[in-house]
Structure 1
Amino acid sequence: MENAKLLQAIIETAIDGIITIDQRGTIESLNPAALKLFGYEIKDVVGRNISMLMPEPDKSSHDGYLAHYQHTGEKHIIGKGREVKGLRKDGTTFPFRLAVSEVQYKDRIIYTGFIHDLSKEKEAEERLMEYAAELENLVEERTKSLKKTVTALREAKEEVSLSLEKEKELNQMKSRFVSMASHEFRTPLSSVQLSSSLIEKYAQPFENKHIEKHVQKIKNAVGNLTTILNDFLSLEKLEAGRVEPAMEAFDLVKLSEEITEEMQMIAKQDQHIIYQHTGLQSMVELDQNLLKNCMINLINNAIKYSGENTFIEFNTELNESQCIVTIRDNGIGIPETDQKYLFQPFFRAHNTGSIPGTGLGLNIVLRYAGLMKGNVDFESKQNQGTTFILTFNQVPQK
């Protein structure tokens, strides 16, 4: 009795549909998964011929298939392990994989059908075929568009650098840039990002390296442009005095763990971000958004300027008087002659080469930390790595 109850519980909770019919094709039972797939209630189907769940031509031919099988004993006639179509109550059809077993039950034979819905797989296949057909053209079009955008942003950056001493002209140009960035760049960048993510999602089951390569190119280009755009917008807000810190209590460890997970997704191959907290307390009172921006900016730099197969150390500490955040990498480091200019707007060290960046990130970090009455320190040796330390006077929150 216990075994029978266990078997019934398994059938009732199975993900795939399970149907049993007698030797005449009459339906004897359907589990909840099968009823949901076909859109019926149990009272609507029990006692009726299984052909009611089949579209043509299988509907008209099923009794013949079953009779031929019973007469000849050819098991393949039933279609064990093959792909077929089902007919829902609303008249729509759907593909599924059918496996059939012949069961000797008491003094008679029944047939048990196991149904695995293939609707999502088929839909993904169709979408992938469409995306694969359009991918090359899409990549070419997006690449041209992104190149134009990069050129426009580079020209805007050079224009800003030449105009820093003229305050009135600078303010006018920043207003134009913010307006252009908000309306002309963010919407198309979001569309490109969404499209590339959808392509990547639908391509995953097929492990096509060519598709992955082109999708990654799109995502990297969009990421670089988004970073440039965000840096310029942040600088404009700081210059305009529109950034006011909102000090509030929050869980530093929870925030840091979320940032670690988020940044690990964009890390290079076999780059690992190792997070560790020191201290018995985890609550601090700072501006959570400003601190998050500082952490992400510094970790993103560590990712960019470190190679594959490396570790990035991300540590937080709460003691009796301070909150300390440390990000350490073993990347290309900062030349000693460049270190005194490191926090100046638009400055980039001479060894950054072709690594993308605006030269604004560290200036923004310094100013955000200052708004929270904090300090930014660093230690670096060329080709040996860099350590950044954010320090805030803090009384641990209970």
Structure 2
Amino acid sequence: MPEKSLDRPQQRPGQDKATNAAEAGMTSLFRDDTYFQSIIDTVPDAMIVIDETGFMIAFSPAAEKMFGYLAGELIGENVNTLMPSPDHERHDGYLRRYRETGNAQIIGKGRVTTARRRDGTTFPIDLSIGEAEVDGIRIFTGIIRDLTERHERTRRLHVLQSELAHVARISQMGTLATSLAHELNQPLAAITNYVETASAVLAQQGVGEHSTVREALSLCADEVERAGDIIRHLREFIKHGETTRVRATLGTIIDESIALALADGAGRGIATAVRLDEAAEDVLVDRIQIQQVLVNLLRNATEAMSETRSKAIEVVTRAIDGKMSEIIVADTGPGLEPRIARRLFQPFETTKPTGMGLGLSICHTIVVGHGGRIWAEPSPIGGTAFHFTLPHFDDTKVET
């Protein structure tokens, strides 16, 4: 398609010279209007302006990227160039019927439809159309959002949620197993003592070594010892479980974590601010595990602020001594209860009626496993601030 001058669209069949001149002036006005041009150049969604007969008089850079055409190639062309059948053939009729009846089908309402790129491929779009009159000429402005990108973002969010849920389940199982192992060691030790005491009493009473009672006690002692071995092996397995740690960017991890934590309306009414220290950006971590830490802290923050009027979360990073990165998640909630604060990272401690009390314990396990530490302080913005540290990525020493 030959490139046209931006301010001299070609005269179309059935268009008189006066109308052609008027629309040429309109296109020139758009080109020369600095304010309008700044909007066209910066609006993130594709923006197309047409006249009342369907011919394009403005085509934004975002539209160029979306459709694969340059603005100069389409100015003066019918907008149905960007439409697949049947809209391609019917669009002129839609506009003519609107001019004659004033009955708007899409204008001011919007709809989901399909569009056609330069290479002929089609894709789903969300189309919103507004109407205005400039210098006596009726124009229509279309704002177009590519639903393919939205669907891809949604798919990516679901993938992240699935990955996070998988790691969360594994982490909960590990923390639960470790806690149970610790708690079961005490009753097992007590059972062993009782068995040994009972055997000693029977020996003092002259009960034979091969009597049924003493044999049963001996078998009981063997089973207790076996149970203890199973627990010790389980704790060692969990303790030495290996993860793959790679170079990651904190800014990306934080952005994804906020999207995950505040999805499904959880972040409604909450102001979120992120302040990143470039010197703290590169870390050596298991990305999914650190996302889990951040998502847990962010969700705790949103739940803590459920009854507060001011709802804000601030995530801050900063470098420490060139070796560690510190991440701070602060909220405007009511702060920590003293009873909880004392046992903050121990399992089964929770203020939630349906919670297991494993979230912060898992955060502690993950952060310590990365060679960092985690703690809580009063928040400078009014509630609680959780701090944790992670190792910098070192180009000269990459660990896995």
TM surpasses 0.5: no
TM-score w.r.t. the length of structure 1 is 0.44
If you compute each CA radius of gyration, which structure gives the higher value, 1 or 2?
2
